[in-house]
């Protein structure tokens, strides 16, 4: 996904550089390509006419593409397969597995960004009481809830607090 976006941006940059080589002003290039004038100036300062030699700026990803694919498979196998007590993946657990497996350190608070790049969603488990009695809950839902729901005040009643 990020690679496709980078290629689109690179194609746009190459078109902008070519337009500059043809004698168009940065303002004209920016208007034609739908980018800011500052972006065109940046393209020109990074090397007018260098073409595909220029790579995107910014920090190199800590995990390679191959490592990211391995991480996907690790997460899909589940946390128990990696020695944890339950199947819940937490940021700390994922950071620990990444450090052990790939030798790359991530702060646990940055793990959601890694998960998003892998198209995983960051979810919070639903909290339930350990003492929860499923049989009692089912009985309450079957016997008491219909009575409560039936007699609940509706809009317009004096007891209604909406």
Render 15-46 in DSSP notation, one character per residue.
HHHHHHHTT--HHHHHHHHT--HHHHHHHHHT
Q: CB neighbours of 120 closer than 8 A, spacing ≥ 6? A: 72, 75
Give 49-75 pLDDT, tens digit per residue. 555 455 666 777 888 889 999 999 999
Across the chain, where does the E strand assignment appear? none
**Bigger pLDDT: 103 or 128?**
103
Q: pTM here?
A: 0.48
- Rounded Cα distance between 7 and 146, Å, is 58
Q: CB neighbours of 54 closer than 8 A, spacing ≥ 6? A: 13, 46, 47
Q: Is the pLDDT of residue 33 over 60?
A: yes
CA distances from 48 to 4, 11, 30, 40, 58 (A): 23, 14, 15, 10, 19
Pair of tokens at residue 145? 């809830």
Q: Give the percent of the chain with pLDDT over 90.
A: 28
pLDDT of amino acid 161: 55
pLDDT of amino acid 107: 94
pLDDT tier, 93 (very low <50, low <70, confident <90, very high otherwise): very high
CA distances from 7 to 2, 13, 101, 118, 157 (A): 9, 10, 30, 19, 62
- Rounded Cα distance between 28 and 3, Å, is 28
Run of H or E including 113: helix 111-117
pLDDT of amino acid 52: 47
Q: Are 84 and 93 in contact (CB under 8 A)?
A: yes
Stretch 111-127: mean pLDDT: 83
């Amino acid at each position: 996904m990020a690679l496709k976006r980078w290629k689109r941006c690179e194609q746009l940059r190459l078109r902008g550089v070519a337009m500059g080589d043809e004698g168009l002003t940065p303002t004209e290039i920016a208007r034609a390509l739908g980018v800011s004038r500052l972006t065109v100036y940046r393209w020109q300062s990074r090397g007018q006419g260098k073409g595909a030699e220029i790579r995107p700026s910014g920090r190199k990803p800590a995990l390679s593409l191959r490592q990211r694919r391995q991480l996907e498979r690790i997460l899909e196998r589940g946390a128990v397969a990696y020695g944890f007590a339950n199947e819940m993946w937490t940021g700390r657990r994922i950071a620990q597995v990444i450090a052990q497996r790939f030798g790359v350190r991530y702060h646990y608070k940055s793990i959601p960004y890694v998960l998003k790049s892998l198209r995983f969603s960051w979810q919070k488990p639903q909290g339930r009481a350990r003492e929860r009695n499923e049989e009692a809950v089912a009985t309450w839902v079957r016997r008491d809830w219909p009575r409560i729901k039936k007699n609940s005040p509706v809009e317009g009643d004096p007891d209604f607090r909406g």
